[in-house]
Structure 1
Amino acid sequence: MAQAQGKLFLWVAALTLSIAASTAAGDEAWWHPNRKHVAKLTDFGGVGDGVTSNTAAFAAAVANLSQVAGDGGAMLVVPAGRWLTGPFNLTSTFTLFLERDAVILATQNLDEWTTIAPLPSYGRGRDLPGPRYTNFIMGYNLTDVVITGNNGSINGQGQVWWDKFRGEELKYTRGYLVEFMFCSYVVVSNVVLIDSPSWNLHPVYCDHVAVAGITILAPIRSPNTDGIDPDSSEYVWIVNSNVVSGDDCIAIKSGWDQYGIAFNKPSQHIYISNFSCVSPTSATIALGSEMSGGISDVHATNIVAVDTESALRLKTGIGRGGFMRDVIVEGMRLTNMKYLLWMTANYGQHPDDKFDPNAIPVVKTISFSNVVATNVSIAGKLEGLPQSPFTNLLVSDVTAEIFVNKKPVWNCTFVEGRSYNVTPTPCAELQH
C-alpha cells in the first residue's frame, strides 16, 4: 500500500505545483501553464442564453482543438452564461475550463442521446439489458484530460430521466453525467455537477485520476445519482469534495458477476480525504455491489457525513466472485446515521441468469477506526457467508451515540475480527 500511495502522491504533488505556478496567469491558464492553444466556445458560434442549442459549437470546438492539442495542448473556455447542448466528447492533452457563472446544460431532447455499447465488465446496461444511452460528457481512450474552472457547473437536467426511469418508459440504461473510459491522467476539479440522469462522475478502466474541490448535487430522492464511482480504475485521488445525492456518495466498483470476473480489472490504490456526504438512503463510502474484478488498497480519512444511511457499506453476494481487501476507513465524524457499518454478502442483483453460483467473494482485512457518531440507529450489521466469512476485520476507537430503538445495536453472522475501545460493545465475533 505504501509504495502505491507514494506513486500516487508524487503525481498529485506535481499536479499541485503546476496549478500553483499557473494561478497568477489568470483564469484561462488556471490549471495548466502549458496549454498552448486556447479558444472560447463563442469562437465556434456558441450562444449562452440557455435556449439556443450549442451541440454543434461544442463538437466543432473539440474537433478544432484536437487538431492542435498535440502541439502544446489545448483549452476550451466556457464563458459565463447558460450553454444548452447535447452530449459531447473530449480529447487528449485538453482542458475544458468553466468560468465562474458558466453553466453547461444537458439537452432534455432525448433524441440527441444516442446509444453506445454496454461496458464489457458489466455485459449489459446497469438499468436494463442491452446498450445504454451515451454519457453527457465523455472521454474515451484519452491521456491528460482536464475538466476544471472557477466553480462553473455542469447540469444534467435529470428530472426528465428520473421520471421516465420511475415510469419504466426508457428503452435503455441512463447515461452518466461525466464518464472517462480507458483514460490516463484525468483531473476533475473546481466544478459543480448537478442533477445527473444517473451516476455523476464515472472513471472506468482509468488510471491516475484526481478529483479535487468539486461539489455534486442531486435531490436526495433522485434514483441512482451516485456521486463519484471509480470503476476498475487505479491510482484515484478524491479530496476536498462534497456530495449530496440520492445514492452512494462514493461507490467503488469493478464489474458485475461473470463479466467483471472475465474482464479482471480491479479498482485499487484509491485515496479519499476531506470529503463530506449527505444521502439519507445510501452510503457515504460503498464498495460494490459490482466488485467482481476485485477492490483493494483503499484508504479514506477525514470524512464528514450527515443524514446518511450508512458510513461504510460493503455490498457483495454469491456470483460476484472477486475480493474486497486492504481497506482502511478512519477519521469519520457522523450525525444522524442508520448504520455505521453495513457489510452484506446477500446482495443478489445479477445481470442475467448465467452467473456462476460457485463464484464466492472474499472479504478480508477491513479497518474502521477513529469514528465519532451521534444519533445512530444500528452500530453494525455484518453478514458474511458460511462458506466465505468476512475475516480480519478491525473496529477500533469508535464511539456511537445510539438513538433509542428496539433493534439490536450489533448484528453479526459469519464474520471474524477484533475490536478495541468501541462503544457500544460490539458483537462477540469482533471481540477476539
Structure 2
Amino acid sequence: MAAIYFDHAATTPMHPEVVAVMTQALTESFGNPSSIHQFGRRAHQQLTAARQIVASSLNAKPHEIIFNSGGTEGDNTAIIQTALARKAEGMHIITTAIEHPAVLEPMKYLASLGFDITYLPVDQTGMIALADLQAALRPETILVSVMFANNETGNILPIAEIGAILKAHPATFHVDAVQAYGALPIDVTALGIDLLSVSAHKFNGPKGVGFLYKKDGVNFPSFLKGGEQEEKRRAGTENLPGILGMAKAITLLTPAEKARRKVYLQKLADTLIAQLKASDIEFSLNGNLENKLPHVLNLRLPRVNHDILLTRLDLAGMAVSSGSACTAGNIEPSHVLAAMYGEESPILKESLRVSFGYENTLEEVEQFSQRLIAEVSRLQKKD
C-alpha cells in the first residue's frame, strides 16, 4: 500500500507546475534582480510580475509586498519592528494564547524588553471573545496580532470584526495568515489589516519563501541590515526561483479553485468523520466546528496516547501529527489545547491532527480510517 500523507497543515507537497517553473528559473533566471545588465533586468522584470500576482491576490498594491523567507520572518519582522518603532507611543501589545510560536516567541522577547503583553484567552472551542479584546485595548496599545486561522484546530478567528474594532484605535493590526492564505479569500483592504504574514509551503509552493504585506503608512526599519533590496525594506538578494514558484502556486489558486477545493476537502473530512461515527471507537472533535478550515481536523481519542498512535500509523505508512510541526519535536503538550482545556487535561495527550490536501483521495481517506479505527479500538480496549 502506498504511503498516505495527511499532514498538509504542517507543509504541502509542491504542485508539479510549481516545480516546472522553479526548474526553469534555476537554469535560466540566474541573474541578480539588482544588477543593471540584461540578466539582472530580466530577473527584475520577473520579480516585478511576481509581486503584482501576490498583491492582486490580496487586493493590495505591489509595493506593499515584501518578499522574505516565510512566515517566521514575516511574523518576527511585523511584531518586533512595529513594537520598537512605536515604543514611544506605548508599550502594550495584544495577542492570543493560541498563536503560532513564530508569534509567541517574539512576544516573549518583547516582554523581556519591558513590553506589556496581553494574551487573550480562548473558550473550549478555541475561540476568542471580542469583548475580551475590547476590554484589553488601552490608549497605549500599539499592536494587535491575531492569527487568521489556527494551525492545530483549523478555527477561523474573527479578523473582520477585529479590523472593524481597530478602525477607531491607532494600534497596528498584524495577522498571521500562514495557515489561512491558501484556503480562504483575503482582502486586506476590506478587513482593515495593516500587516499580514504568508508562507508559500502551506499552499503547494516551495519552502523558505513567503511575503509580508505592509500597508502604506506603516513604517519601521528593515529587520535585516545589509543591502537595499525590496525598496530598502528587507536586505538580502531575493530568492527569485522560490518567489516565482510561489507566484505560480498563487496563480493556480484562483477564487474558483479555492471554492472547489473547499468543497472537496470538506468532503474528505466529512467522509472520515462518517467512518469514525460508524465504528465502535470513542472520539470527538476539538475546535469550533461551525467556523473552521475544511482541511484540518483535530480528533480527540479518549484513553489513547497520541505518541503511541502516531508511531503505529507511521509504521503503516500514514502521516498525521499531534499538532504544530514547529513544536512536534518538543515533549511539551500542545499550547493550543492547553489554552482550550487547561494544562492538566488528558485531552492534550489524546488528540491527533489530520489535515488534507488537494491531491488526497477518498480511497486514501477510507484506507486511513480503517487503520485508524483498528488501532484506536485496540488501544482503547487494551486500556
TM-score by length of 2: 0.25
Q: Point out the structure with the larger helix share.
A: 2
Report 1 or 2 for greater relative contact order, CA contacts < 8 Å, sequence distance ≥ 6.
Answer: 2
Scaled by the length of structure 1, what TM-score is found? Answer: 0.23
Q: Normalized per residue, which structure has more strand?
A: 1
